């Protein structure tokens, strides 16, 4: 059986993405074949494309999609043909019409959540979940700083944090994004070009925030340390501006016994029970309206390169869907 899928033969800019016809392999044991209805675009896809996170080439791309189970291999018990499912994970190949994927990593989409909403929320929403519950478990009344607050992870994390009683200070690059972030959970906004630590001190009576959720990386890491209260937690979870440079642990001592963590989503959902429990929490806040997903861009799968260009140029907000 043939399908259309994005392939990369070399690392580089968006131009390396090629939509080609490929053969879908025979189903292996434990695998299910999923016909995609909506594909989630994520910043991590740009790292896989550029080679920042290298793998074997040639390669597919994409770590998240929703769709319908079309067939199952031997020993599959977690899903059945006809199920509406969503997944996130490797190997990267969600930029495709049809693919095989381990059935144990597929999650049934509950009624009331559309395929698009599921594909726009799973990877980013589970990230928001572990950031707020594990990397630094927030408490009501906490002040936290959230970079890219109007982005895909940003809008979800800000709403979820507000729901948990947290005062979120968001960092964004434009007035339009500021309005969006304010409407989605941020109590305060700092513009990315401003002196972020000075603004944070002013907004927290000179104390600093309990945690910084920093997905920008290289450009913001040291300033983020300056935003923390004593014993505060620096959660560096992304590289939108490039990877963080090596730094001396003494920098943490100088700023009063800070903590730093560099988490990865897949370490928090390694087993099926963990995955289902986390998804349960995510679907709960989506279902009760505490967290809403904004799908602000849609591109056809064949325009994935344009989607990457816009994402990297900071032109997008909220979640983005590729339509297969």
DSSP notation for 196-216: HHHHHHHHTTTS-EEEEEE-S
Q: From the list 6, 32, 132, 172, which residue makes contact with ligand NDP (rule: CB under 6 A)?
A: 172
Give the residue with the Cβ less far from ligand NDP, 113 or 311.
311
Give the residue with the Cβ less far from ligand NDP, 51 or 263.
263
Give the C-alpha separation, 197 to 195, whole Å. Answer: 6
Residues forming beta bridges with residue 261, ordered by sequence position: 235
Q: From the list 263, 281, 310, 323, which residue makes contact with ligand NDP (rule: CB under 6 A)?
A: 263
Closest approach of Cβ 102 to ligand NDP, in Å? Answer: 19
Tokens 């074997």 -> residue: 56
Q: From the list 62, 67, 152, 197, which residue makes contact with ligand NDP (rule: CB under 6 A)?
A: 152
Work out the widest C-alpha separation in the chain, in whole angstroms. 63
CB 55 within 8 A of CB 92: yes
Q: CA torsion 153→156→161→165, rounded to 10°?
A: 170
Q: From the list 154, 185, 197, 208, which residue makes contact with ligand NDP (rule: CB under 6 A)?
A: 154
Give the residue with the Cβ less far from ligand NDP, 223 or 265.
265
**Which among 98, 95, 97 has a CA at the least distance from the CA of 31?**
98
Residues forming beta bridges with residue 234, ordered by sequence position: 212, 260
Give the residue with the Cβ less far from ligand NDP, 22 or 233.
233
Closest approach of Cβ 22 to ligand NDP, in Å? Answer: 25
The footprint of ligand NDP (CB under 6 A) covers 42-44, 123-124, 127, 148, 150-154, 172-173, 177, 192, 215-216, 237-241, 263-265, 311-312, 314, 316
């Amino acid at each position: 059986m043939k399908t259309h899928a994005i392939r990369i033969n070399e690392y580089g800019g968006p131009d390396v993405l090629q939509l080609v016809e490929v053969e879908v392999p025979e189903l292996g044991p434990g695998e299910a074949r999923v016909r995609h209805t909506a594909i989630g675009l994520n910043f991590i896809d740009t790292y896989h494309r550029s080679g920042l996170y290298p793998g074997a080439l040639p390669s597919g791309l994409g770590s998240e999609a929703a769709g319908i189970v079309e067939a199952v291999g031997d020993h599959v018990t977690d899903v059945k043909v006809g199920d509406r499912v969503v997944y996130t994970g490797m190997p990267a190949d969600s930029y495709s019409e049809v693919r095989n994927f381990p059935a144990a990593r597929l999650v049934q989409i509950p009624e009331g959540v559309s395929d698009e909403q599921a594909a726009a929320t799973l990877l980013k929403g589970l990230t928001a979940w572990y950031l707020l519950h594990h990397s630094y478990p927030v408490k009501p009344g906490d002040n936290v700083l959230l970079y890219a607050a109007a982005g895909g992870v940003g809008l979800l994390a800000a709403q979820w944090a507000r729901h948990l009683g947290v005062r979120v200070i968001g960092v964004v690059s434009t007035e339009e994004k500021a309005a969006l972030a304010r409407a989605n959970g941020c109590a305060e906004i700092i513009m990315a070009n401003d002196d972020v630590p000075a603004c944070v001190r002013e907004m927290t009576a000179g104390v600093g925030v309990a945690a910084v959720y920093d997905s920008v990386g290289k450009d913001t890491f040291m300033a983020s340390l300056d935003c923390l209260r004593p014993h505060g937690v620096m959660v560096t979870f992304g590289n939108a501006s490039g990877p963080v440079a090596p730094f001396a642990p003494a920098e943490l001592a100088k700023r009063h016994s800070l903590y730093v963590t560099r988490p990865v989503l897949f370490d928090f959902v390694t087993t099926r029970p963990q995955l289902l429990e986390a998804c349960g929490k995510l679907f709960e806040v989506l279902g009760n309206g505490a967290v809403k997903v904004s799908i602000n861009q849609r591109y056809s799968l064949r325009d994935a390169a344009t989607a990457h260009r816009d994402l990297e140029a900071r032109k997008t907000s909220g979640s983005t869907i590729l339509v297969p």
